[in-house]
């Protein structure tokens, strides 16, 4: 089980070949000649073929889905600003960095960046991903609950005539996501009741 923290990074490097660009064009339907036709590209400010922006930013998906966090990760959103053109045959290193952890929702917010072979920033943005169910989030701050609230919880349990088996099943599902204070309370409560 992985644990996550702000500042964690992962990278992936790829050289975009003419064949990569051609295949992406066929799959996406984006056959803009700026990507495929050297003669057309020569008439533009770029002077040569550029890689689709979406193909460049797809490297983030490669990292998120296969490297970090990895298998089972769900891509929620991606915002990308393209800073410099990526040319066919450029070698691009994509990087993701955890900037925020939304533990209750099992969501990571990540800075996403791409650099070319000259270490120039070519794309910059942010992604959000939902973690696989089994992944661990750092413990949240302990929940502070006073004695009256604990009595209220116990009374609700009595009022609903909740069986200990049901309570234990609920507790087992939530056990990895509760604070140490809650675990101590539950263990004390179980000792008193038994």
Domain ranges of the chain: 9-130, 147-193
Rounded to the nearest angstrom, the gap between the alpha carbon of residue 39 and the centroid of all alpha carbons in its chain is 40
Q: What is the C-alpha to C-alpha distance for residues 74 and 135, in angstroms, rounded to an integer?
A: 12
Instruction: Please provide the average confidence, as pLDDT, over all residues in the chain.
Output: 82
Tell me the CB-side half-sphere exposure of residue 45, using CA atoms within 13 A.
2
Q: Using one digit for the tens of pLDDT, what is the confidence trace for 122-162?
A: 999 999 999 986 555 554 444 455 555 555 555 555 555 44
Q: What is the C-alpha to C-alpha distance for residues 187 and 194, in angstroms, rounded to an integer?
A: 11
**Which one has a higher pLDDT value, 81 or 172?**
81
**60-68 average pLDDT score:** 96
What is the pTM for the complete model shown?
Answer: 0.68
pLDDT at 143: 46
Residue percentage of the chain with pLDDT more than 90? 63
What's the CA angle centered on 35, arms 126 and 46, to 5 degrees? 85
Name 115's Cβ contacts closer than 8 Å, sequence gap at least 6.
Answer: 92, 93, 95, 121, 122
pLDDT at 3: 78
Q: What is the C-alpha to C-alpha distance for residues 95 and 135, in angstroms, rounded to an integer?
A: 21
DSSP three-state, residue 3: strand
**15-31 average pLDDT score:** 97
pLDDT at 173: 55
Strand order in the sheet with 9-15: 9-15, 91-102, 107-115, 121-130, 74-82
CB distance 86 to 116 below 8 Å: yes
Q: Using one digit for the tens of pLDDT, what is the confidence trace for 79-132?
A: 999 999 999 999 999 999 999 999 888 999 999 999 999 999 999 999 999 998
CB distance 76 to 130 below 8 Å: yes
The count of other CB atoms within 10 Å of the CB of residue 110 is: 25
Q: Please give the CATH topology (third level) of the domain spanning 9-130.
A: Thiol Ester Dehydrase; Chain A (3.10.129)
């Amino acid at each position: 089980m992985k644990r996550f923290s702000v500042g964690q990074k992962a990278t992936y490097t790829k050289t975009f070949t003419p064949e990569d660009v051609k295949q992406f064009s066929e799959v996406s339907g984006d056959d803009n000649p700026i990507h495929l036709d050297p003669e057309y590209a020569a008439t533009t400010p770029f002077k040569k073929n550029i890689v689709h922006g979406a193909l460049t930013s797809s490297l983030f998906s490669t990292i998120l889905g296969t490297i970090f966090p990895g298998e089972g990760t769900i891509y929620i959103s991606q915002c990308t600003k393209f800073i410099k053109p990526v040319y066919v045959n450029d070698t691009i290193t994509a990087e993701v960095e955890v900037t925020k952890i939304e533990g209750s929702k099992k969501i990571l917010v990540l800075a996403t960046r791409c650099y070319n072979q000259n270490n120039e920033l070519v794309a910059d943005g942010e992604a959000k991903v939902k973690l696989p169910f089994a992944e661990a989030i750092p413990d949240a701050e302990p929940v502070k609950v006073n004695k009256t609230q604990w009595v209220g919880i116990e009374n609700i349990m009595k009022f609903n005539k909740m069986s200990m088996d049901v309570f234990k099943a609920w507790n087992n599902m939530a056990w990895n996501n509760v604070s140490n204070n809650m675990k101590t309370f539950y263990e004390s409560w179980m000792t008193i009741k038994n």
